[in-house]
Amino acid sequence: MNILANDGIAQSGIEALEAAGHQITTDKVPQDQLEAYINKNSIDVILVRSATKVRAELIDACPSLKIIGRGGVGMDNIDVDYARQQGLHVINTPAASSHSVAELVFAHFLGMARFLHDSNRNMPLEGESNFKGLKKSYAKGVELRGKTLGIIGFGRIGQAVAKIGFSLGMHVVVFDPFIDKKTLELSFFDGQKIVFTIETIMKEEVLKQSDFITLHVPAQSEYIISTKEIEMMKDGAFIVNAARGGVIDEVAVVNALNNNKLSAVALDVYEKEPQPEVQLLMNPYLSLTPHIGAATGEAQNRIGTELATQIIEISKEYES
């Protein structure tokens, strides 16, 4: 099969696919040139992350396509149902990046709790002239241990977040409309394991009880967190959104930060990605990353290998 990894793929995936006799290119083709490129090169498989969109129009215009692969979890940039109706296979890697995203969530939580997001901006500017002043400004950090972690959305990533939260000594509360109870296993380096069960509660209760809140939901038509929900939260709560842009009302978040309702908020995804609003980029109470939840070498290797394995298996249908 001819494979276009338009948003890239790890070397582990390339090697596995080439070893199985497939041809793969990692050329980055602009969205408006995809149709011509796919048809000219008889592309059978297109692999994307979040940047490239595979909509019905592209599917109709490219009859050579057999497989659409998403390196990651969410597939809102692909018309999945339509593609499958046309006989295409649509695959993704829902488990491969869970731990990487979960670690980023806590990188933000820990950083915000100790003002690292702001200190890293100001130390280069004032560290020499105002060391004592900065020390005083950042002297009211908080520990995560003993605090309540609220998780909205309890799929694979939410579950990975819960495991880290437990390991830090946090109380974990969860909302998910599709899950009543989940049993998780926390494994340690020496082979020891702890099994624990979480029963989900109402979203409003999660918002009221939590000191730290994180979202792990697919793209939505409406905000999951806006002014109404923020008003339910504890004063001084922290929020991380490493799920999808548009699940948090960014204007409401900025207002809550300016009014001291929230202590700090972290965003890895944005409503106007890849051009976030300037007021977000300049806000000292926001901890910001450029959509890097799954951007670790380990996760990308797992993603590449999982995509390759699925493609190799599906390709057997076309060889017989």
Q: In sequence order, which residues have a C-beta less than 8 Å from that of residue 192 and are 6 or more positions away?
A: none
**Of these residues, 244, 250, 302, 306, which one is catalytic?**
244
Q: DSSP assignment, residue 302?
A: H
Active site residue 89: no
**Of these residues, 89, 291, 302, 306, which one is catalytic?**
291
**124 preceded by a cis bond (ω within 30 of 0):** no
Q: In sequence order, which residues have a C-beta less than 8 Å from that of residue 45 and are 6 or more positions away?
A: 1, 2, 3, 4, 22, 65, 66, 67, 68, 69, 311
Which token pair is 120? 């890293």
| Phi, psi (degrees; rounded to nearest 5) at 169 | 85, 25
**Of these residues, 15, 271, 273, 298, which one is catalytic?**
273
Which amino acid type is present at position 49?
Answer: R
Q: Is the Cβ–Cβ distance between 234 and 263 less than 8 Å?
A: no
Cα angle, residue 167 at apex, residues 164 and 173 outer, rounded to 5°: 65
Active site residue 121: no
Count CA within 13 A, CB hemisphere, residue 72: 23
Active site residue 291: yes
Catalytic residues: 244, 273, 291
